[in-house]
Amino acid sequence: VDTLSRSEHPGKIPPKKHLPTCLIFLVFLGFFSSSHVNAAAIKQEIPANAEFFNTKTRYQDADPFLRENILAINVSAVKPPAPACIPIHLTAIIRHGTRFPTAGNVEKIAILDKLVKSEAKGDLSYLPELKAWKNWYTQETAGHLTAAGRGDQIHLAKRLVKTFPTLLTKSNLLNKRVKFITSSVPRCINSTLAFQQGLKESLSIPGNLFRFSYNEEFKYTVNDTLMRFFASCERLLVTVLNNKEAVVQVTLFEEGPEMSKVHQRLSDQLQIPYANITLGQCDHCHFYLIEVCAYYLCAYEFSILGLVTPWCKLFDRAEAQVMDYAGDLGLYWKRGYGHEVNYMSSCVLFHNLFNRLETSINQFKSGQPVSEVVNVQVGHAETLIPLMTLLGLFKGKISLDANNFAENLHRPFNCSKNVPFAANLMAALWSCPDGFRLQFRVNENPVALPGLSYSPLYEEVKKLYADLLQGCNEEEPPKCSLQHPL
């Protein structure tokens, strides 16, 4: 997301021109078993900078509680508002699982690999390992879900069955009271299928993901209006995503003292001319080619294969924090609080959520069965960040700018923690003795809405968002139209 390639320009649906998506898992699994058989032996080793991989962070590194046991439930974090409360609905908006680098980044990794092999020199102890590293990333699998990403979703589904055992039931699944919505992008569709597989395994429902046939049992709906709203928001595309002036803080930080130190040290370590280190900017994210590719190559190798490779040794903790801030800075100004249109573009998803909550309440109050006890929506980091921002979550006391890196070292707007692979925003609706209560959870941990408790009354939530519920058009957000005044 912070390094969008040309093939994933936010205004376009990526073309489906690679291998059939149902084959990607098996292609990768075969590669994994034959070429990286030693990965499992060192899988527990964790890079020192694993918590600073921004949107390339593993889910269990954003929440280390899961490192020891990926199916563990943090009981203190999943409590109902009160013992007498019963859950009546859950909406889970989920980012796709761990993916391969996108097409543009596969190309950049190849350039980095060639540069290191041809120009790097000196007495760096692990330089021979960097030069011997074999680039295995291909355009055929670019951007697709990995085996690890499939596991992300299977494990999440299994944890949610434990957390909401009265909602995610075999009966509710078979009676189609659990609905699935996904982005059209293959990694999201495959994440949806993997989530469904996790439910099947937890609930002992026959059927396997690898039948190579459409899953008639648990259908899903492709809805890009909801899950890729950012791609159809004209004002967002014109005034922010394709406007360098809108992200000037990102450019200033890249040219500032913190990033310059990272450039210079990398140049010194590899003995590659400084000018070569800082060439080849990414058109859409303004990040410099070399250090970003090298830094995130460590992240990819770890998240996909479980390997801690020599690429991880190139950056120390302080430099990792700079790289992480650079990523957050781009997301802040392109997807978060930097510009109003960034988050107002998510109005359609906001209304979709609250309309469903209203329907669930009305059905429950009238004595009818709630027709949709769970709604699972699978999208992207670009889906989650604007909606979280619209809700007022993770807003710090000061903005993220080029000149306040030190002041923002412990910022709430931290995408390594908030939006790792398989990140999720959940809204759990409860019927309690004193009324309906709503819990929001991010990555399965409770979050408090601005000025409210962790489990406020639903009516309090509606008062908090009264203006949005009244003036945030659910069909086509007015702020997305260039004709509508800001």
Q: Which residues are marked as active site?
A: 96
* Other CB atoms within 10 Å distance of the CB of residue 42: 11
The residue length of the chain stands at: 486
Nearest residue to 356 via CA among 217, 241, 226: 226
Which has the closest alpha carbon to 83: 401, 358, 437? 437
CA distances from 191 to 178, 197, 477 (A): 16, 10, 28
Amino acid type, 7? S
Q: Dig out the tokens for 156 from the structure.
A: 């999440």
With b meaning 16 or more CB within 10 Å and e meaning fewer, what string describes 459-484? eebbebbeebbeebeeebbebbeeee
Parallel, antiparallel, or unpaired for β 221-222 and 424-432?
A: unpaired
